[in-house]
Amino acid sequence: MAQGNPAGTFQLEDDSAYQLGEGWRLPHTDLTLAGYGDASLSKQGSQPWTSELDSLSLFLWWQATDRLKLFSETELEDALTVQPHHTSSDGSYVALERLYADWNQNDALNLRLGKFLTPVGRWNLIHAAPLVWTSSRPLITSEPFPTNATGAMLYGTFTGIGRGLDYSVYGSIGKELRPNPDIDTFRKAYGMHLSYPALDSLQVGLSFANFEQEQHLGERKNLVGVDATWAQGGYEITSELAWRFSSDGDHSGEKGGFVQAVAPLGGRFFGVARYEYFQSAGQEPGVSLWLLGVDYRWDRALILKTEYSKAVDNRIDARDGFLASIAVLF
């Protein structure tokens, strides 16, 4: 099932047909290596200028048969932080982002077993730095739910429904494979995501998830979300909205959303603007974030991004200030 970039200028097929950086097919094998890297320079408030090697991610997949594929993504996060008179790698962490086996029966029915990206919204599925237009990630695309799940997923496309309905239905029972200590992972979860091309230029989606997390046992949470992407002639508008409510009452609920616009400025330059709102559990009022940026896309595999964001009612220490990054697929 394809997970493309909404801009229409480049596309990543879901792991098995990776094209952007071409990857490397190991000679005389069915193994393919690929990945991406991301480095940034930032200045927030009174904090010093900071340069970081944010991520180095390695994809490895093996097309065992026409139906069976094994895929893994391992990522070195926060590998290096450099500030005036201080350099550190104390925050570095090797994360297992994905490790799964796919059995491809037909277009309408496929099975995935292992650790995969949680199919909520659209951003979480294409969040790799070279594939998105901003260096910072909207809060609603990661804060209300764990971004990875370990379990089973059925997915495919019902081609007999209008233009073709993409679906993902998943369940997670038990502990996460190599859990990230910074994420409150799923304990038990099930959910679904639907995506439908309402027009040639418009994709709309619906998400639902019911889950319990390791650090909040006994509290069941429900998340409902909608997403939409319109892209035509180099222009793009994307949006996601989500609401999470809990068995513990309104004080533990979260809600928010964003709308982002991209426009060609000429040549390889693109302008980016985004507004987002996020209200975290127990916080009143929520935080509003405004962002303006300019990107330079050298080609499909290399992008330089610059942006400035301003936060209002920022009680959760959301990113606020200047951020630039360079990202490359290989």
Predicted confidence (pLDDT) per residue in 82-128, tens digit: 999 889 888 899 999 999 999 999 999 999 999 999 999 999 999 99
pLDDT(1) > 90 = no
* Helix intervals (H) in 61-102: none
pLDDT-derived band at 13, boundaries 50, 70, 90? very low
- What was the pLDDT predicted at 216? 87
User: Of the candidates 83, 142, 139, 135, which has an alpha carbon nearest to the alpha carbon of residue 308?
Assistant: 135
Greater confidence, 210 or 19? 210
Beta-carbon contacts of residue 74 (< 8 Å; ≥ 6 apart): 57, 58, 60, 94, 95, 96, 97
Asked whether the predicted pLDDT for residue 288 surpasses 90, the reply is: yes
Give the model confidence (pLDDT) of 216-230 as tens digits. 888 999 999 999 999
pLDDT at residue 19 in the model: 53
Contact 277, 269 (CB under 8 A): no
Q: What's the pLDDT at 49?
A: 94
- Rounded distance, CA 87 to CA 68, Å? 44
Of 101-105, 251-255, 273-277, least confident by mean pLDDT is 251-255
pLDDT of 236 > 90? The answer is yes
User: What pLDDT was estimated at residue 15?
Assistant: 43
- Percent of the chain past pLDDT 70, that is, above it, reads 92
pLDDT in tens, 41-80: 999 888 899 999 999 999 999 988 999 999 999 999 999 9
Q: What is the C-alpha separation between 109 and 154, in angstroms, rounded?
A: 7
Computed over its alpha carbons, how large is the radius of gyration of the chain? 20
Task: Tell me what the pLDDT averaged over the chain comes to.
Answer: 90
Q: Which pLDDT value is given to residue 260?
A: 98
Task: Give the pLDDT band (50/70/90) at residue 328.
Answer: very high
Q: Cβ–Cβ contacts within 10 Å for residue 241, how many?
A: 18
> Average pLDDT, stretch 15-43?
79
Instruction: Tell whether the model's pLDDT for residue 8 goes beyond 70.
Output: no
